[in-house]
């Protein structure tokens, strides 16, 4: 049996086990929309910890993170920074959202926003913007899965087939089991990828350099620019502090605004479970340390990968590891990709049906569930087409999506904490902020970087979004006080 066949067999066993867990976990769920979208609001601490942690740390962290450590050095540390900061507000926002979800039956983020600011147009705008941000994020996961499988099988399993196989399985268990499958497969995948990451993160520096400390000593001597904050830009020049700090801010603001993560507030068994999950979440950042070490281990390695995002599988293949170990590594990388991809696909279908179609047409539970399943397939197909054709850096893909998704933060804060906010103000702010972010993104995309101080387009969008929301709200008629009070005074 050839080496690549052994590796493929290990990958196949992993995919089969993941599918089995996904299908079995959905057996006890109700057939209602709340059961399919919110897991019957019954996730305990273990599942909540891993469903948030594994959903956040994806192919972006397992491949893009090492890729940035390898090519851009200290620039990769922005990922550690925003991961610690971004979950903190959820300690306060999450329980309030969960309480409102139990009271009014909300299962999506837009339902909460539009419950406070009634507007079918606003619901549709949020749904479309979410979908636009989701596609590159799902593309990132699929491409990451394909990159790893193609690399470890020496090209015998091409990217298009590997990505299609892994995400065919993801779509299957999401279709049949919904949120329950996402929760329990994420728990399995999160544990698995932590074990694999730490094993390889220690093994490679010790094998190639004699230890982690010795590795950084040699890098400091030969490539000191990689260890100086804020690291390098994509063109090899020093990354500006404006770009570095604004990337942290935008990512921290946007982290829990991702609908597939925010929606997990509606799945928690209790507010105590949700708060404990937020308190423990920073410990999941420990996962990033070994994957960064793998990226740094490649800096002084004589051979070079075809691209920075390939550095992790490239180093594994050049470390002369047994085929079984390489197969397990690949399964760990797939865990990172699939544990985020399933949550995204599930949320994408849910958001389209609940927020884009639901406000305009009443549907039965059965019809809603079937439509969600149809859109899971559609969104998955679109992302797959981008995944097999694109060559953009995985981290750049995610940072681009964050620019749009962080625009959901002001409406959420206004809905839960500001009585004077109005529907018109929220729509105006959301439109102005998103348009600003899109303008500066496109200016850079077409070779004319118009961003002042090199700030991220998402932060520039927020700097326009918030004042517009405030001014327009103060200029328009206030909401009924009893209505706004139900949201502002909601207690966990």
What is the per-residue pLDDT for 481?
92
What is the per-residue pLDDT for 116?
96
Give the dihedral of Cα atoms 441, 444, 450, 456; nearest 10 deg: 50
Q: Is the distance from CB of 335 to CB of 189 less than 8 angstroms?
A: yes
Alpha helices in 390-456 (DSSP H): 394-405, 409-417, 423-445
Q: May I ask the CATH class of domain 3-394?
A: mainly alpha
Stretch among 108-112, 123-127, 134-138 having the lowest mean pLDDT: 134-138
Q: Residue written as tokens 């700090």?
A: 245
pLDDT digits (tens, 9 = 90+) for 317-375: 887 778 888 888 888 888 878 888 888 888 898 899 989 998 988 888 888 888 998 99
Element (H, E) at 212: helix 212-222
Kindly indicate the confidence band of residue 388, based on its pLDDT and cuts at 50, 70 and 90.
Answer: confident
Beta bridge partners of 238: 232
Over residues 70-97, the mean pLDDT reads 89
Over residues 61-84, the mean pLDDT reads 86
Percent of the chain scoring above 90 in pLDDT: 31
Separation of alpha carbons 113 and 102, rounded Å = 15
Q: Residue 478: what are its φ and ψ, rounded to 5°?
A: -65, 155
pTM of structure:
0.83
Over residues 155-173, the mean pLDDT reads 90
Over residues 450-465, the mean pLDDT reads 89
What is the per-residue pLDDT for 69?
92
Separation of alpha carbons 158 and 148, rounded Å = 10
Q: Is the distance from CB of 140 to CB of 60 less than 8 angstroms?
A: yes
Kindly indicate the confidence band of residue 398, based on its pLDDT and cuts at 50, 70 and 90.
Answer: low
The ranges assigned to domains in the chain are 3-394
What is the per-residue pLDDT for 447?
59
- The more confidently predicted of residues 52 and 228 is 228
Nearby residues of 166 by Cβ (< 8 Å), 6 or more positions away: 15, 142, 145, 146, 149, 334, 337, 338
pLDDT digits (tens, 9 = 90+) for 23-39: 888 776 676 776 777 66
What is the per-residue pLDDT for 390?
62
Q: Which residues of 283-297 are buried (b: 16+ CB within 10 A; e: fewer)?
A: ebbebbebbbbbbbb
Separation of alpha carbons 165 and 178, rounded Å = 19
Separation of alpha carbons 465 and 460, rounded Å = 9
Q: Residue 304: what are its φ and ψ, rounded to 5°?
A: -120, 145
């Amino acid at each position: 049996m050839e080496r690549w066949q052994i590796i493929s067999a290990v990958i196949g066993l992993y995919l089969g086990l993941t599918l089995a867990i996904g299908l079995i976990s959905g057996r006890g769920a109700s057939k209602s929309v709340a059961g399919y979208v919110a897991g019957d609001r019954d996730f305990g601490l273990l599942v909540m910890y891993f469903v948030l942690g594994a959903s956040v740390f994806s192919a972006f962290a397992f491949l893009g993170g090492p890729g940035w450590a390898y090519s851009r050095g200290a620039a990769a540390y922005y990922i550690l920074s925003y991961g610690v900061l971004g979950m903190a507000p959820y300690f306060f926002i999450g329980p309030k959202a969960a309480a409102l979800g139990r009271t009014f039956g909300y299962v999506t983020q837009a339902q909460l926003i539009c419950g406070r600011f009634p507007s079918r147009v606003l619901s549709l705008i949020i749904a479309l913007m979410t979908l636009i941000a989701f596609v590159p994020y799902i593309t990132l996961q699929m491409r990451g899965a394909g990159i790893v499988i193609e690399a470890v099988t020496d090209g015998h399993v091409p990217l298009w087939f590997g990505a299609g196989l892994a995400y065919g399985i993801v779509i299957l268990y999401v279709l049949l089991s919904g949120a329950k499958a996402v929760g329990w497969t994420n728990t399995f995948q999160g544990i698995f990828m932590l074990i694999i990451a730490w094993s390889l993160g220690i093994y490679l520096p010790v094998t190639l350099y004699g230890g982690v400390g010795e590795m950084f000593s040699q890098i400091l001597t030969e490539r000191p620019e990689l260890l100086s904050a804020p690291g390098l830009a994509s063109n090899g020049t020093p990354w500006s502090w404006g770009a570095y700090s604004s990337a942290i801010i935008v990512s921290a603001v946007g982290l829990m605004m991702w609908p597939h993560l925010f929606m997990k507030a509606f799945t928690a068994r209790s507010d105590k479970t949700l708060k404990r999950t937020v308190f423990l979440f920073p410990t999941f950042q420990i996962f990033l340390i070994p994957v960064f070490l793998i990226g740094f281990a490649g800096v002084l390695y004589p051979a070079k990968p075809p691209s920075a995002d390939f550095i992790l599988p490239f180093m594994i293949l050049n470390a002369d590891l047994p085929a079984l170990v390489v197969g397990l590594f690949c399964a760990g990388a797939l865990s990172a990709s699939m544990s985020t991809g399933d949550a995204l696909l599930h949320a994408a279908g849910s958001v389209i049906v609940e927020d884009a179609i639901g406000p305009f047409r009443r549907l039965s539970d059965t019809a809603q569930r079937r439509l969600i399943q149809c859109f899971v397939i559609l969104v998955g197909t679109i992302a797959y087409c981008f995944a097999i054709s694109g060559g953009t850096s995985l981290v750049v893909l995610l940072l681009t999506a964050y620019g749009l998704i962080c625009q959901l933060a002001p409406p959420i804060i206004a809905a839960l904490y500001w009585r004077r906010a109005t529907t018109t103000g929220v729509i105006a702010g959301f439109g102005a902020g998103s348009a600003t972010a899109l303008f500066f993104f496109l200016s850079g995309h077409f070779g004319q970087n118009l961003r002042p101080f090199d700030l991220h387009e998402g932060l520039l969008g927020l700097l326009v979004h918030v004042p517009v929301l405030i001014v327009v709200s103060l200029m328009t008629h206030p909401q009924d006080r009893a209505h706004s009070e139900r949201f502002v005074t909601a207690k966990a």
